Amino acid sequence: MRILVERRALLVVIAAAAALAGCTELAPEGEEALGAAESELLAYNALSVNALSVNALSVNALGMYALQYSALSPGSISAIRDPGPSGDDARMFVKYAMACAGTTNDTFEFTWTDANNVNHPEVYPGELGIAPEWMTGSLSSSGEHRVSACLGAFVNAHGLAVLISMRSPEAPLKAIDPDELEDYADIEGAFWGNLFLETPQMYACYNEATIANSRAYHRECATGILGPNNTTTECGIIEIVGRCSDVCDPVTVEGHYPSCLKQPGQGIAETEHVITVGLP
C-alpha cells in the first residue's frame, strides 16, 4: 500500500505524542470527537503504513513536549487550541498521529480560535490503522511503539513533500503490493522507539547502499542531514544508531526489517515494532 506523505519540520510535532490518548476527551460538549469519514489513502506528510504517503511532519514538532504522556489533560487540550506557533505544532502532531493510528472509518474533530477570533474546525481522518485501539481508549505499550515508529518515519528535515513506502512486520503494513515493492525498491532505513515515555526515545538506522538515493529524495533523518565538509546532524531527537545491517535482522521478502535492537548499545533485546521506509 502506498501513502503520499507531505514533509515539514516534524521535530516539534512529535512532542505532542500523547495528544490522542483518550481522544474523545478533546471534544467540548456538543462536539463529536470521533466520526466516520470517507477518505482516500492519502497520508499527510509523515505517516504511512504500507502505502505511498506524503510526509511533512516537522522537525520542531518532534521535540515539543506540550502534551501529557498518558492521557489528555486540560493543558493538552489547550495546546491543540493554542492560536500561536506552538499550537500549529501540536495540531500537526495530532493530525499525523491520527493518520497513523486510526482507520479510514475514524476521524478526530475539534475547533480552535485564532488571534482574530476566527474559528477553525479541524477534521483529521485516520489512514493507516496501526493502532485502532486508540480510538476508544488508551494506547497499549505495543501501540505506543507502533505509532512512534510511524511518526518517526514521517519526519522530513527539509519541509518537502516526498512519496514513501512504509512497511512493517506487523499488520496492516506487513502485506505489500508487489508493484509497490518493485517501484519503491530502495530501502532508506528504519525507525522505531517510544515517544510516549517521560524521556522520549526515537531511533533510526540507514541502508548503507542507498544513502545517495535517500539524500537525492531529501530523506535524511535516517542517514543524517548533510552539512558543510560532509558533516552530518540528526533530526532533533531521532538518534541515528548506524547501519541497519548492524542493528536489525536482514530484510525480508516483504521488504521490511523484521526486528531491530530495541535500545541499541544498551542490551540485546529486539523489537518488531519497526517501520521500514522504501524509496523509488
3-state DSSP call for residue 74? helix
Question: Do residues 188 and 37 touch, judged by C-beta distance below 8 A?
Answer: no
Domain ranges (residues) in the chain? 3-135, 169-279
Q: How far apart are CA 39 and CA 260, in angstroms?
A: 33
User: What pTM was estimated for this model as a whole?
Assistant: 0.79
Do the bridges between strand 270-271 and strand 260-261 make them parallel or antiparallel, or are there none, so unpaired? Answer: antiparallel
Torsion of CA 130, 133, 136, 141, to 10 degrees: -110
> Which helix (H) or strand (E) segment is 147 a member of?
helix 141-153
Cα–Cα dist 132/182, whole Å: 29
Contact between 254 and 174 under an 8 Å Cβ cutoff? The reply is yes
pLDDT at residue 247 greater than cutoff 70: yes
Residue 45, pLDDT > 70, answer no
Residue in the structure block whose three cell numbers are 519497526: 274
Q: Are strands 52-54 and 3-6 parallel, antiparallel or unpaired?
A: parallel
Taking Cα atoms as reference points, which of 179, 163, 125 lies closest to residue 46? 163
Q: How far apart are CA 18 and CA 168, in angstroms?
A: 22
Lowest mean pLDDT among 92-96, 145-149, 259-263: 92-96
Mean pLDDT calculated for residue range 163-177 = 91
pLDDT at 196 over 80: yes
The confidence band for 73, taking pLDDT boundaries of 50, 70 and 90, is low
Res. 96 pLDDT band, cuts 50 70 90: confident
Cell numbers found for residue 10: 516534524
